[in-house]
Structure 1
Amino acid sequence: MAAKSPPTKPPPGERKLPHEGEPVPDSKAESPPVIRRTEVVAIALVGLLIICVITGLYLAKAFFLPVTMAFIVGTMLSPAASLLERFRIPRAVAAVVIVAVGTAAVAFMVGLIASPAVEWSGKLPELGSVLREKLHVFDRPLALWQELQSMLGGPGTLTTFHLPKIDWVQPTLEFLSPTFAEFLLFMATLILFIASWRDLRRALIMNFGEREWRLRTLRILNEIEDHLGGYLLTVTMINVGVGIATGLICAITGMPNPASLGALAAILNFIPIIGPVAMFAVLVVVGLVAFPTISAGLLAPTMFAAMTFLEGHFLTPMIVGRRLALNALAVFIVLAFWTWLWGPMGAFLSSPLLIVALIVKEHLMPPDSPQLPED
């Protein structure tokens, strides 16, 4: 037999090809990370979808804001309608009664605020002169600031204090108050939503074919209804307490119209962060105008700030935080976004919408799914 010839080595730089039937050896070299084109396209499409949705919500605010407001408020009031049904009251009648009572309560609060607000708005020139006299104590710090600006090469003129003209009142009212058509759309949608909520929920659940998804949808809807109803009840009780405490503070310190200021504090406290800050500014202005000295004028705002600090850092987290653990940064970002998108009503809806998003996220991405490792 002829001896087998030894295998020949390939010349340098030439790659040896495997023979037929011989397995290909694994490469030890690490391949660089590759971004797939489909992933880039998917991310880009999702980004475009989000931009389109936000643009549509912004441009069609006159439609989407009343409808969304009616859905959220209707979900909050749905447990009350279910309670009235237990007393053999038809759900349609219960919806009308609940909306009528809620509208009357809001109208009463607005009535307490409207009369003093109109009275004070007619005295803006006088209030401006009073504020200028009270702020003379800051002339020396402002003069030092002017000298510092002149040394640094900045403008040497000092801007004097001027109260905004009456022209700002009408645009502000147009921004804060909805149009008549939006109000009618909200009221009609709210009544119909509360009256037909059971049928809507059943239709939404039965829309899914698989039993697992039906049960998951049922759990999501039940939890949203329970959490939003509890949120409305607890926050309303807290804000009523804040309004009563503010009215007592104003009455004790001698502030004018303590009932109106208390009602304003209760309404503004429904808007997180922005509401208490706006109320503090209102108390500062009213105190500076109503009292002869700055120290007396700042007494009520200081007491209000201490009260809201205790309420925001201890009372509300103790009551609401156990049921709805909301991250402060998430609340602030969501508040800023919805306020920019839909104004004051968007600020009111920011926390309920965040609660709904968290509930949906918990059910669609449960804790037993893969998580990031702990620090």
Structure 2
Amino acid sequence: MRVLPSERLTPGHGEGDPLPDSHAEQPPVIRRTEFVAFALAGLLLIAIVTVLYVGKAFFLPVVMAFVTGTMLSPAASFLERRKVPRSLGAILIVITVTAVVTFVVALIASPAIEYSTRLPELGGQLKEKLHVFDRPLALWRELQTMVGGSEGLPDFQLPKFEWVQPTLEFLSPTFAEFLLFFATLILFVASWGELRRALIMTFSDRNARLRTLRILNEIEVHLGNYLLTVTIINVGVGVATGIVCAVTGMPNAAGLGALAATLNFIPIIGPVAMFAVLVVVGVVAFPTLGGGLVAALAFGGITFMEGHFVTPTIIGRRLALNALAVLLALAFWTWLWGPMGAFLSSPLLIVALILKEHLLPTDAPQLPQG
């Protein structure tokens, strides 16, 4: 009699009992289609970043106009409800914002031009004021000699001023970029209603149209509230800084206050840069080092209160931005587009969070409650 393989005897089994089928669990394997999808997504992301970096002259003013126009759209809608035509309201809003920005730039530019013409003289004064550090520097050089020379440790030197011209070129956009920005901004604000309607009607499904409408409404409301709230906070920081500078006897208190309000639009980097400016101006303007640091230390206290109490209380409840996400967005957009990218980092992060909230499936797996 022929015995089938499935009927062979094993210990513990009687004659005629077949062997149970055994299927060993295989480790999870990434399918080829999943790997290809991840690779294509990575290549697409790299291509998008490369295009944005290479085409900065075009994409930066356009994206800047779109974000700024979305922020200003509630004001245009307000004027439209007051029987002001949308196109006329867009022009009035852009002219008003341009006038305010020009006034602030004028306050900042006057002392900046004065100081730029006296850079060698101011450098000599700064070196004289820092003579109190001569003894610590001498001890540092002796320590360098003891550990084997100055090759392994850096030497302390005053910064040179060859960076001024490249910095101004980096910060100043071209006339074509300015023209593209203003033209796109006016047209975007004037035609925002038609653009919204066209984008919503692109989808044939009713649910998709409703989702798109909710996304656009939320982006407009959040960006408008962000601009209004941050502007009020930064104006308060600028006024407080100007008062501190005037009380402590700093030169050009109004210009320093306007500079503080402007730089505070850039997270993290702006307050640090303003603190450095106040230190340099104070050390040059005052006869003693301690007197020159009073305004900078007071500004540090103002920004500490604003960053840890005022802004989180007002903005944090509406837009819960993670500090690490803000830092990474700031670093990425600053690397990509410079100072204007730093200004756009927080609004673009808000847009990304809104898109994530609406586009991710509601039945996505959640972490267990612990």
TM-score by length of 1: 0.92
**TM-score, normalization by structure 2:** 0.93
Counterpart of 1:271 (choices 241, 251, 266) is 266
- The unaligned stretches of length 5 or more in structure 1 are 13-22
In structure 2, the residue matched to 1:296 is 291
Q: Residue 12 of structure 2 corresponds to which residue in structure 1?
A: none
Superposed CA deviations along residues 99-145 of structure 1, whole A, max 9, x for unmatched, are: 00000000000000111101011111111111111111111222222
Q: Please report the RMSD computed on the Cα atoms of aligned residues, expressed in angstroms.
A: 2.1
Aligned counterparts of 1:145 and 1:26: Cα–Cα separation in 2? 78
**Aligned match of 2:135:** 140
Please give the per-residue CA displacement for 1:295-352, whole angstroms capped at 9, x wherever unaligned.
1011110010011000000000000111100000000000000000000000000000
Match of 1:105 in 2: 100
Match of 1:95 among 90, 94, 116: 90
How many Å separate the matches in 1 of 2:194 and 2:176? 27
Aligned pair partner of 1:357 in 352, 361, 364: 352
Which residue does the alignment assign to 1:75? 70
The within-5 A match list for 1:134-173 is: 134-155=129-150, 159=155, 161-165=157-161, 167-173=162-168
| Counterpart for residue 16 of structure 1 | none
User: Residue by residue, what CA displacement relative to the aligned partner does 1:231-283 show, whole Å, maximum 9, x if unpaired?
Assistant: 00000000000000000000011100000000000000000000000000000
Q: Find the residue that maps to 1:161 and give its secondary structure.
A: coil
Secondary structure of residue in 2 paired with 1:141: helix
Task: Kindly indicate whether the alpha-carbon contact (under 8 Å) linking 1:67 and 1:189 is maintained by their aligned counterparts in 2.
Answer: yes
Q: Which stretches of structure 1, 4 residues or more, deviate above 3 A after TM superposition?
A: 5-12, 23-26, 156-163
Aligned pair partner of 2:112 in 114, 117, 135: 117
154-163 vs 225-234, which deviates more? 154-163
**Alignment-mate amino acid for residue 296 of structure 2:** P
Gap regions ≥5 residues in structure 2: 10-17
Aligned residues: 361
The answer to whether the Cα contact below 8 Å between 2:137 and 2:156 also exists between their aligned partners in 1 is no
Letter aligned with residue 56 of structure 1:
V
Contact 1:146 1:158 in 2 (8 A): no
Q: For residues 121 and 39 of structure 1, what CA distance do their matches in structure 2 show? A: 57
Judged with a 3 Å threshold, the aligned counterparts in structure 2 of structure 1 residues 56 and 253 are, in CA distance, closer, same or farther, namely same
* Structure 1 match to 2:176: 181
In the alignment, is the contact (CA less than 8 A) between 2:8 and 2:19 conserved in 1?
A: no
Return the offset for 1:11: 8.3
**SS in structure 2 at match of 1:323:** coil
SS at the partner of 2:182? helix
Aligned to 2:323: 328
Q: 1:35 to 1:137 in 2, by over 3 A?
A: same
* Inter-partner Cα distance in structure 2 for 1:75 and 1:158: 48
- What percent identity do the matched residue pairs reach? 71
Q: Provide the residue aligned with 1:49 in structure 2.
A: 44
Q: Does the residue aligned with 1:31 lie in a helix, a strand or coil?
A: coil
209, 234, 237: which is aligned to 2:229?
234
C-alpha distance in 1 between matches for 2:213 and 2:154: 64
Alpha-carbon contact 2:65-2:182 (below 8 Å) kept: yes
Shift of 1:29: 1.5
Give the one of 234, 237, 244 matched to 2:239.
Answer: 244
Match of 1:203 in 2: 198
